[in-house]
Structure 1
């Protein structure tokens, strides 16, 4: 269309076949510029990044499988969900969930492999976008001292910047629930939320060693003993559940657990990539090309996220229920899928929206902000 060619300053658009060939040829070379453009965009427009109630900005990193079953694409293998596909790791910043990176990984790759290097990159990018202290949250698959050492090394390399804290789910591995129950009986703070269910909260101080360095650590623990299930059925053998969280924060146990529970919000961001942007089944048979597609998707995601935060949460936005953010599907429905008439007059192109179109004020405001110096 003439409007998009003029607006995007594009003279020629290659065919699908030519575009695929160019992506295959230059995928590795284009990765870094695309990722840098995404971060530079957020930095240039001063994207609003909302911290948690305690003033920390959440930095959530997690692996999510992409189902690419019945294909022979490079890197497709069995994921932890039992399907054939990829297992990329994503990192999201703030309550808005801006994407700092989507790293494509083979489906069978363990989630901890290459994670310290990923954390180094996303921590550096997060510093460019906010001066507030960060809270890195990882699940139990990334319970490794290497990740904690990466955070500590980053803080030491940036002594004048706000610190980065970590909150990592503990992986009990071969730990005995019965032994932890015995420990909790002596040191835990017990409560009874319902008949037949007891919950103990306590902390454990530990020291670990890595590459000749000593790391004093704090782990918040929760032990749950159930003698009656939620349906009122008495159990012959008590059900014992143990959970733990490594953290550099000195908040009380309940606060630490609540902070980690909010980590589940990143699943919503995964869902928006897979459904709203439709990138579950990647298009190419080449791994490098699919990695570039994910990087481009992250760029588009950040643009749409900013449009939603800036355009659909203001006073002139179309009426909707109150929310911290609008999902990408809503952004596209409200601001993208809108009919307009293209008018060519005085050697200029104009978009004429229908009378009373409710998104015109939003469109003008966003356009002026993006076109500004």
Structure 2
């Protein structure tokens, strides 16, 4: 669809097409997780009619007043201090005109940043979720944790598009683009495998993480400075004495050579 078209345009037709296919794969309950672009009454009404399908949708505050929600948190004495200058409150309420649904809202008030710099006036922000999951089975904190994985999958999409430069496919022919995507998938998997080694103790110094972005893998391992030297009837790759990524490169090369 055109890039200017809203993501929710025609989304109900997509649900009607996709949900029967998902149901054909399993007879277990399904949890549908959607971002705030799909926070629409029509979507919720349709999903409430489906059997064994629960949903978790990021709430779109639209014209909500953050200060009004801060007053609600104050009335319920729901504040918790996360750090000096930052406090949060988690509120939960049933939607009066949509039985079985609840809205969970996290209100955050900051009076200073993480470094201790004071703000001229408090900064109030809202974050919320609407779900059909019953409160006696899934708590508010569990609902927020379920949605936090959504950002992880979005980051994978971002890496595939931006780091591999696939924001736009090169051809108007489906078969050509299909071949490009197949090669990109192979390259993505290879780089992800290489990136697992970049979390070892002898990897180049970076902040602690469970994995590295594809861009980081290419910067650390694909663009290393070296010289190709021909000596003694042999070709040799010569790296600098203080090359930060050499240990990782050597281990990866050894693994590939052993498997070949």
* TM-score, normalised by the number of residues in structure 1: 0.46
**What's 1:133 paired with?**
29
Q: Structure 1 residue aligned with 2:161, among 244, 261, 274?
A: 274
Instruction: Write out aligned runs for 1:47-62 (5 A).
Output: none
Matching of residue 261 in structure 1 with residue 148 in structure 2: yes
Equivalents in 2 of 1:121, 1:297: separation in Å? 26
Distance of aligned partners of 1:128 and 1:299 in 2 relative to their CA distance in 1, 3 Å threshold: farther
Equivalents in 1 of 2:153, 2:180: separation in Å? 14
Superposed CA RMSD: 3.9
Paired residues, what number?
A: 206
Larger displacement relative to structure 2 (237-246 or 224-233): 224-233
Distance of aligned partners of 1:108 and 1:234 in 2 relative to their CA distance in 1, 3 Å threshold: same
SS of aligned partner of 1:141: helix
Equivalents in 2 of 1:235, 1:226: separation in Å? 8
Instruction: Write out aligned runs for 1:7-46 (5 A).
Output: none
Q: Structure 2 residue aligned with 1:222, among 102, 106, 115?
A: 106
Which structure is richer in relative contact order (CA contacts within 8 A, separation 6 or more)?
A: 1
Distance of aligned partners of 1:279 and 1:204 in 2 relative to their CA distance in 1, 3 Å threshold: same
Matching of residue 243 in structure 1 with residue 127 in structure 2: yes
For structure 1, the 5+ residue unaligned runs are 1-104, 156-162, 209-213, 314-318, 331-355, 361-373
Distance of aligned partners of 1:133 and 1:178 in 2 relative to their CA distance in 1, 3 Å threshold: same
Deviation at 1:198, TM superposition (A): 1.3
SS of aligned partner of 2:101: strand
Deviation at 1:268, TM superposition (A): 3.3
For structure 2, the 5+ residue unaligned runs are 201-209, 218-255
**What's 1:207 paired with?**
96
Distance of aligned partners of 1:190 and 1:300 in 2 relative to their CA distance in 1, 3 Å threshold: same
Q: Structure 1 residue aligned with 2:49, among 153, 156, 169?
A: 153
* TM-score, normalised by the number of residues in structure 2: 0.64
Distance of aligned partners of 1:358 and 1:252 in 2 relative to their CA distance in 1, 3 Å threshold: same
